[in-house]
Amino acid sequence: MSSLSAIFFDLDGTLVDSSIGIHNGFTYTFEQLGVPSPDEKTIRGFMGPPLETSFASCLPEDQIESAIQLYRSYYKEKGVYEAQLFPHIKDLLAELAQQYPLYITTTKNTPIAVDMIKNFEIDHFFNGIYGSSPQALHKADVICQALQTHNLAPDRVVIIGDTKYDMIGAQETGIKTLAVTWGFGEEEELMNYRPDWVAHQPTDILQHLQLKR
C-alpha cells in the first residue's frame, strides 16, 4: 500500500460539533416558510448531505432555493457561532499538519466553511478549503475538485469523516476512508461501507495514520 500524500477532513460532525446550529437553521427555515418542521431525527439525517438533497426530501421544488437562502442566512449570522470543536481536535491537527498536507472537503457552503474554521482559529492548519457549490454539489464532486486542484493521486489520499456520505464520496473517487464514530453518522451504518480505518477518538487517528507514513 502506498504511503499517504494528503489528508482530507470532513467538517461537520468530524472536526466540529455543529448540531445545534444546523438544527436551529433548519427549524428557522421551515418556520419562515410557514411549513411544519420535520422531527428531530429527520433533521439529524440532514447533517451530511447537501442542502439541496435535504430540502428536496420534504419541500416542493419551487421552495427549495428559498429554503437554501433562508438556511444560509441564519447560519451565517447565528449558526456558525452555535458550534464548537470536538475535544482534542486542535492537538490532532497540529500533529498531523507537521507530517501531511491537510484539506477540508465538506458539503457545507465554502464561504461559511471558511468563516467557521477562522472562527475556531484552525484555518492555518489547512492547505485548502473545498465546499459545496453549484459546480460541486455532492461529496464526490468536492473531493474531485481538491484532487484535481492539487494534482493528488487518489490512492494516496484518505478522507476522515463521520457519515455515509463521506464513505460514498471516497468510494466514488478512489480515495481511502477513515470513519470516526463521534459525529452524526451511526456506527453500524458506517461499517456497511467498510472503511479502511475506524477511529473512536482523535488519538486513534494518529495511531492509524502514523503507521502509514
d(CA 4, CA 176): 9
Task: Mark which of 50, 81, 112 sits at the end of a domain.
Answer: 81
Residues 205 and 119 in one domain: yes
Sheet holding 157-161, edge to edge: 128-132, 102-109, 6-9, 157-161, 176-180, 197-199
For residue 167, the domain's CATH number is 3.40.50.1000
Residues 77 and 92 in one domain: no
Structure letter (DSSP) for residue 101: -
Supply the pLDDT for residue 139. 96
The three three-digit cell numbers of residue 201, written as one number: 477518538
Which domain range does residue 59 map to?
A: 19-81
Task: Mark which of 29, 57, 81 sits at the end of a domain.
Answer: 81
Supply the pLDDT for residue 211. 53
Supply the pLDDT for residue 3. 86
Residues 197 and 118 in one domain: yes
The three three-digit cell numbers of residue 55, written as one number: 430540502
For the chain, residues with pLDDT lower than 70 are: 1-2, 211-213
3-state secondary structure of 90: helix
Identify whether 1 is part of a domain.
no
Return the beta strands (E) in the chain as ranges. Answer: 6-9, 16-17, 84-85, 102-109, 128-132, 157-161, 176-180, 197-199
Task: Mark which of 30, 60, 81 sits at the end of a domain.
Answer: 81
For residue 26, the domain's CATH number is 1.10.150.240
Q: What is the pTM of this model?
A: 0.89
Identify whether 159 is part of a domain.
yes
